[in-house]
Amino acid sequence: MSTEKFKGKTVLITGGGSGIGRAISLRFAKEGANVHILELNTASAVEVTEVIQATGGMATAHTGDVRNQPDVLTVVRQIEKIDILVNNAGIAHIGNVEQTSEEDFDRVYQVNIKGAYNMLYAVIPLMKASGGGVILNMASIAALVGLTDRFAYSTSKGAIAAMTLSIARDYLHHGIRCNSISPARVHTPFVDGFIARNYPGREKEMIDALSKSQPIGRMAAPEEVAGLASYLCSDEASFITGNDYPIDGGFVNLNN
């Protein structure tokens, strides 16, 4: 059943065409938002917007690369007014520092850190001009605990956590709230594809192993992350800013 939680609100979601971003796009549209998806993958963005529109929601797909500031500025200027920004676009890398080439490190930095910066740089002036807004950044438990073989990824998500605090402090008196979410493992098509490519014939075994690595005994569903995102971006959370919210099945505090 749809709600009117975000009626009259415009949300821009990066990487909103797949995985967690897709779930957030669908949730916000269901709750009345005018959803704009910024994606490098045009087909996935269009697919999500068509699903939203088919159920009576409002959605627009924009092709663009968060690494490219002119791309970002062009899209943001087209939208004109943005009430909520969800910085969700991101990529992963597996390896310790010795297994992380300069090219690998730069690739993760460009998407996960510079991409978030480009979005903030473009959107915050619009929010200031309209009297406020909400920003939600996608961090990770990798910013909170030591994960094996996640050097570049952990570095980037640590930057997102610090960026969240900086934005929350600098724009508090402009009516802009900024928080972050730190998921543990989330069962997305990306996870299934990674396992299929790297562990052919062992898919069930690997899914079970990943599930059991969470104290709660399973991975999160993208829709669960979307539910937390919806709350933090809504007026129900109007007293919350400058905080990070792990959604981790107990991984950070109970995994010992």
Q: Which of 153, 171, 199, 245 is catalytic?
A: 153
Please choose, from the candidates 47, 52, 46, 50, the residue with its C-alpha nearest in 3D space to the C-alpha of residue 28: 52
Strand partners, 60: 36
Rg of the chain's alpha carbons, rounded to an integer?
18
Q: How many CA atoms lie within 13 A of 137 on its CB side?
A: 33
20-36 pLDDT, tens digit each: 999 999 999 999 999 99
| CATH 3.40.50.720, the chain: domain bounds | 10-184+221-254
Cα distance between residue 83 and residue 81, in whole Å: 7
Catalytic (active site) residue 171: no
Q: Which two tokens stand for residue 81?
A: 């007014």
Cα distance between residue 191 and residue 218, in whole Å: 13
Cα distance between residue 132 and residue 12, in whole Å: 15
113-147 pLDDT, tens digit each: 999 999 999 999 999 999 999 999 999 999 999 98
Q: Which two tokens stand for residue 158?
A: 């640590």
**Statement: the pTM of the whole predicted model exceeds 0.85:** yes
Determine phi and psi for 249, rounding to 5 degrees.
60, 25
- Cβ contact 121:76 at 8 Å: no
CATH T-level assignment (fold) for domain 10-184+221-254: Rossmann fold (3.40.50)
Cα distance between residue 23 and residue 62, in whole Å: 17
